[in-house]
Structure 1
Amino acid sequence: MSFLISLYHKTCYNYDRPVFLSPHIFRLKPAAHSQAIINSYSFHVEPQEHKVHWQQDVSGNFIARVDFDRSMEEMSVEIRLDATLTPTNPFDFLIDDYALTAPFFYPPQTRNDLWPYLEITDYGFLLSSLVSRAQNLRGDTISFLVNLNNLIYKEIAYSTRMEEGVLSSEQTLQNGIGACRDSAWLQVQVLRHLGLASRFVSGYLVQILETGGTGSVDLHAWAEVYIPGAGWIGLDATSGLFASEGHIPLACSPRPKDAMPVTGTTGPTISTIHYENTVSYKVI
Structure 2
Amino acid sequence: MVPPVTITSPEKAPTTALTFEARDGQVHVFLPPTERLEDYTDLLKLVEVAARKLAVPVVLEGYGPPPDSRLTTLSVTPDPGVIEVNVQPTRSWAEQRDLTTTLYEHARQARLTTEKFDLDGLHTGTGGGNHLTLGGHQPADSPLLRRPDLLVSLITYWQRHPSLSYLFSGRFIGPTSQAPRFDEGRPESVYEMEIAFAEIERIVAGLRAEGEEPRPWLVDRALRHLLTDLTGNTHRAEFCIDKMYSPDSSRGRLGLLELRGFEMPPHPQMALVQALLVRSLVAMFWEQPLRAPLVRWGTTLHEDFLLPQGAIADIAEVTADLRAFGIDFEESWLAPFTEFRFPRIGHTTVAGIDLELRSAIEPWHVLGEEATAGGTARYVDSSVEKLQVAVRGIDPHRHLVTCQGVPVPLTATAVPGEYYAGVRYRAWQPWSALHPSSEVHAPLHIDVVDRVSEVSLGGATYHVVHPGGRSYDTPPINANEAEARRSTRFEARGHTSGRLDVGAMLEAGRRAASTEYPHTLDLRRVQGLSPGKSL
Normalised to the residue count of structure 1, the TM-score between the two structures is 0.28
More strand by percentage: 1
More helix by percentage: 2
Normalised to the residue count of structure 2, the TM-score between the two structures is 0.17
User: Structure with the greater relative contact order (CA < 8 A, sep ≥ 6): 1 or 2?
Assistant: 1
**Bigger Rg over Cα:** 2
